[in-house]
Structure 1
Amino acid sequence: MCIAVFLWLAHPLYPFFLLHNRDEYRSRPTEPVAWWDNGEILGGRDGLAGGTWLACSRNGKIAFITNVTEVGNVPEPKSRGELPIRFLESKKNPMEFAEEVVMEARQYNGFNLILVDLSCKSMIYVTNRPKDDQALVSEVPPGIHVLATASLDTPWPKAVRLRTNFEKFLEKHGGGELLAKEMADTLMTDATKADKTTLPGIYSIEFEYPLSSIFVEVNTERDFFSGPYSTRSMSVVSAKTSGEVAFYEKYLEEESWIEHMESYMVEHTGTG
């Protein structure tokens, strides 16, 4: 039940600033953030399906994805984690790639996908589970946004809480430098559970309640969980007006939290 809060074209120093928690079974093999084989893509890698939940590239592209909480699955679905990588490897701009994804959207289980190109200042949201009569593809306006496992900016309790805390943090620090570690430790470790009466009710309360916090930890075997399930990593990706991109990750390895940072300058090659 991953969650992310991000700032887009609404800060004097950072055109883009993202905080992201990835929640997953402890037993699922995962590789921490690193440069991939060709040295062009920076991100974590799912050791089972081979894709990613969050990654960026040297030419100024960023992509991240969350599942959609829903009942039922697509038979023999494609891996959702491949979508961010395909975008980063393509020469298409966010809208062009989004239109490509829509053509095959039914082949995936529910997903929310954010596509960013810093070079052309474009951010596109794609989902194959649109809310009500909303479009599958939409341009993301400047401002603060939250993405959990529902449509973009759906006011689930944990999403509202994270957005509010993020806004307070920004107000406190004004338009100055934002420290990745401080923000991750302050905002993304919040284990406060939601009031049970405010849960979305897609599944039972017994399933939704332990997942209703920003930081998730289910350490015991339960009817709805096939083993320990928790927040496996906290990530902060920032892009400065200078062109510097920094990727901070704090990830769980066995029972220890390990942190590291990678940074690089965007290579302006252009897309589309």
Structure 2
Amino acid sequence: MCLIAFAWQMSGRPLLLLGNRDEFHPRATRPAGFWNEEGHPQLLAGKDLEAGGTWLGVTRSGRFAALTNIRSPAACRGPRSRGDLVRDYLTGRLSPEAYLTDITQNLGDYAGFNLLVGTMQELWFLNSDEAQPRPLEPGVYGLSNASLNDPWPKLQALCRGLEERLDSDCDSDELLELLKDSREYPDDQLPDSGVGLEWERRLSAAFILGEDYGTRASSLLAIDADGSITFVEQGFGPNGQELGESGWIL
């Protein structure tokens, strides 16, 4: 994913997460669904058909994980796909802390990433540049393609929108609308992540429109205090073409 805002242990709910996955449109992807064919019927996630991993997923038991890339054109690619990190946690049994600690021994296998792994009781975070797993306290957080809570305009706007709705009775459609903000920000508010000004402008939008590259999916993941799980995914094609919505309550 490229943009995530999430509320952890807020308003009586363990997790409420919103995220956009931005990717090149030709890259083969399977929409969210259960991984029955792979022998993991408990896992609900989309699938990158090119590398075999995923960017966001949850299991019936409430294990969840999400990933964003760190945007650094000079960084080494790494021999393994970052999507493996989400998949391997969700199909494994290690605790969040143990899993991230294990990963720190092999950070050179992956290009830069931010990784969230959790259960209903705990949520841990790892930034590959910092190389130090840490638990997250209750609060509202944001992740894009830098570090946790970096002050990128689109990230701050999404976090504000999520926080303003935590105590309201808004439904999933209203929450997902927050992810459809396609405005680009002024040059003096843009980060310098090494991709050039034209791309910085394009990537400054929460919802990226484009023929070749753009937002491919918007997702909502909510885990309630009683253990029930809601997962909604909206798919998009070039230039924001709507491809449909799927939802599950577990």
TM-score (norm 2): 0.93
> Counterpart of 1:162?
158
| CA distance in structure 2 between the partners assigned to 1:244 and 1:89 by the alignment | 19
| CA distance in structure 1 between the partners assigned to 2:165 and 2:10 by the alignment | 14
State the one-letter code of the partner of 1:210: R
> Counterpart of 1:269?
none
Sequence identity percentage: 30
| CA distance in structure 2 between the partners assigned to 1:73 and 1:124 by the alignment | 24
Deviation at 1:260, TM superposition (A): 1.1
> Counterpart of 2:201?
209
| CA distance in structure 1 between the partners assigned to 2:73 and 2:24 by the alignment | 19
Which residue among 185, 188, 195 is the counterpart of 2:186?
195
Deviation at 1:74, TM superposition (A): 2.0
Give yes or no for the alignment of 1:150 onto 2:136. Answer: no
State the one-letter code of the partner of 1:248: V
State the one-letter code of the partner of 2:5: V
Alignment check: 8 A CA contact 2:21 2:216 kept: yes
> Counterpart of 1:267?
none
> Counterpart of 2:122?
122
> Counterpart of 1:229?
213
Alignment check: 8 A CA contact 1:36 1:42 kept: yes
Count of aligned pairs: 244
| CA distance in structure 1 between the partners assigned to 2:26 and 2:75 by the alignment | 22
| CA distance in structure 2 between the partners assigned to 1:195 and 1:164 by the alignment | 19
| CA distance in structure 2 between the partners assigned to 1:155 and 1:105 by the alignment | 25
| CA distance in structure 2 between the partners assigned to 1:155 and 1:76 by the alignment | 27
Deviation at 1:253, TM superposition (A): 5.1
Deviation at 1:178, TM superposition (A): 4.1
RMSD: 1.5
1:63-84 Cα deviation digits (max 9, x unpaired): 0101001122325521100111
Deviation at 1:153, TM superposition (A): 0.8
5+ long unaligned stretches in structure 1: 220-227, 265-272
> Counterpart of 1:261?
247
| Deviation beyond 4 Å, 4+ runs, structure 1 | none
Give yes or no for the alignment of 1:181 onto 2:173. Answer: yes
| CA distance in structure 2 between the partners assigned to 1:105 and 1:168 by the alignment | 36
Give yes or no for the alignment of 1:243 onto 2:227. Answer: yes
| CA distance in structure 2 between the partners assigned to 1:193 and 1:211 by the alignment | 8
> Counterpart of 2:136?
140
Which residue among 29, 54, 60 is the counterpart of 1:52?
54
Alignment check: 8 A CA contact 2:28 2:48 kept: yes
| CA distance in structure 2 between the partners assigned to 1:178 and 1:242 by the alignment | 19
| Residues 180 and 144 of structure 1, relative CA distance in 2, 3 Å threshold | same
| Residues 34 and 75 of structure 1, relative CA distance in 2, 3 Å threshold | closer
| CA distance in structure 1 between the partners assigned to 2:183 and 2:202 by the alignment | 10
SS of equivalent residue, structure 2 residue 10:
coil
TM-score (norm 1): 0.86
Greater CA radius of gyration, 1 or 2?
A: 1
